[in-house]
Amino acid sequence: MVINYRFENMVEPDLFSFIKENDFTGLKLRLLFFWGKHPHTTFDLDCIANFLDITRYHLRDIIKDLVNRGVIDEQYCSNGMAHYSLNHENETTKYIGELACLDCSILNNMLGAIEREALPV
């Protein structure tokens, strides 16, 4: 694996490996970045979809995957509406916190590096 020297100095190798191994790219990565910035907040599906600028329909599969992995918790209020929050008992919380400390340009560079590695030569 070859990583740009400048990029390599900005991102912890463990974080890069964690994101790559778990296939946290695209919308999942943006969602984790968002949750890293707001780790103690609970959101409903509409709020998350609005932030990511996507439809609830496209978000449901991503949320379901992250709930199944134990990255986020799903809780229902008395009216039956689901709310989601970061699962602080999961080992991924440490990486999500590191992710939130990154600048958006570094995040985009990391995503680009992951996508370039996925392309066949």
- Cα 43-48-51 angle, rounded to 5 deg: 130
Q: What is the Cα–Cα distance from 121 to 118, expressed in whole angstroms?
A: 9
Q: Is residue 45 part of a domain?
A: yes
The pTM of this model reads 0.77
Task: Specify the CATH number for the domain of residue 48.
Answer: 1.10.10.10
Q: What is the Cα–Cα distance from 47 to 94, expressed in whole angstroms?
A: 24
CB 46 within 8 A of CB 56: yes
**pLDDT (tens digit, 0 to 9) for every residue of the chain, 121 residues total?**
444 444 445 567 788 788 888 888 788 888 888 888 899 999 999 999 998 888 988 899 999 999 999 999 999 999 999 999 999 888 888 888 888 888 877 777 777 777 776 545 4
Q: Is residue 4 part of a domain?
A: no
Q: Is residue 57 part of a domain?
A: yes
Structural domain boundaries, residue 62: 12-118
Query: What is the domain count for the chain?
Result: 1
Q: Is residue 78 part of a domain?
A: yes
Q: Is residue 108 part of a domain?
A: yes
